[in-house]
Amino acid sequence: MSNSTGSFSAPPQILTFDGLLSDFDGTIVDSTDAIVKHWHKIGAELGVDPATILATSHGRRSIDTLQLYDPTKANWEYVSYVEGRIPQEYGSDAVEIPGARSLLSALDEAGARWGVVTSGTRALLEGWLGVLNLTHPDVLVVAEDVELGKPDPRCYLLGRTRLGLEHSPALVVLEDAPSGIKAGKAAGFTVIALTTTHTLEQLQAAGADVIIEDLRSISVKSVVDGRIELEVRNAFQA
């Protein structure tokens, strides 16, 4: 049951994981304005109301969205081309989520096992990392890597494999969208959700374990024997 009577004021807690996997759009980068402009442009080309597309596109792969409206464009060549244009054309319309830059730097510097699992294409992800000059993850799972996108868990399971942690259930997923939260939970992982793009109620309904406002609430305490100690502050508590 949803309970929104509460506040983002939980005392600090230390959570320990073998690895961390993060979504990208809405979790590390706020590219909403750029994505909205992109779908307005695509909607005009397809003759589809962009509001209709935007109602269901967040957290989903473009190839799956396009399949609904024009299957002839639901191919990786086209999707990579149009997504690769987004950071080039609308680069000034994206900013990092508060706390993202320092968290990625800290994970990298501490030698943590971490990676990004995104519904975006490699062209889109590489474009944003370049435009915003963010730490590049060694481990990536992009839209082209999986047969089924979120909420199917295989993207996060592939991320775990690429981290070299096939047999560990002790992973944490950072997410902002219900489809991604469901994917992380279906993979058997702990999910920390951000209220950057969806309501508290939507994140609760999707099954998030911990809900925070943004990445300023998470810091890397240490990495000991490969295990990441995260401090989580000001999580939601009812």
Residue 117: what are its φ and ψ, rounded to 5°? -120, 110
Helices (H), ranges, 70-217: 76-90, 100-110, 122-132, 154-162, 178-186, 200-206
- Report CA 226 to chain centroid distance, whole Å: 23
Q: Does residue 25 have an active-site annotation?
A: yes
C-alpha radius of gyration, the chain, whole number: 17
Q: What is the DSSP string of 165-184?
A: -TT---EEEEESSHHHHHHH
| DSSP 8-state code for residue 9 | -
Count of residues making up the chain: 238
Tokens of 208: 């998030």
Element housing 64 (H / E): helix 62-69
Q: Which of 18, 23, 176, 214 is catalytic?
A: 23
Q: Does residue 23 have an active-site annotation?
A: yes
Q: Which of 25, 30, 176, 214 is catalytic?
A: 25
Determine contact, residues 155/145, Cβ cutoff 8 Å: yes
Tokens of 60: 């989903």
- Could you tell me the sign of the dihedral formed by the alpha carbons of 52, 56, 198, 215, in that order? negative
- Closest to 126 in 3D by CA, of 166, 165, 80: 80
Residue 99: what are its φ and ψ, rounded to 5°? 95, -15
- Catalytic residue numbers read 23, 25
